[in-house]
Amino acid sequence: MPRYYFNVSCGDYESTDVVGECCPNDVAALSGAMRVASAVLQKRLRAEGLSDDGWVEVEDERHRPVLRLPLRAAAY
């Protein structure tokens, strides 16, 4: 099963996923990106530093970009 990496960029916060997660395909990776985006928004709400500007970039095993999900997509 292919491994995907979920990197987050939001204002002054940036996180590079060095472990990754196995997903059967790109659609499953999109679901993982939505989960990550939701977790980031929840953290930012708790810290009262709410900003939905930013994204989760999903990379494949070769660290090629597969998709970029705006954080605000997880707010709906």
62 neighbors 3 (Cβ within 8 angstroms): no
Helix (H) or strand (E) holding 28: helix 26-46
Q: How does pLDDT run across 15-33, given as a tens digit for each residue?
A: 899 999 999 998 999 999 9
Q: How does pLDDT run across 50-74, given as a tens digit for each residue?
A: 566 788 899 999 999 999 988 888 7
pTM: 0.83
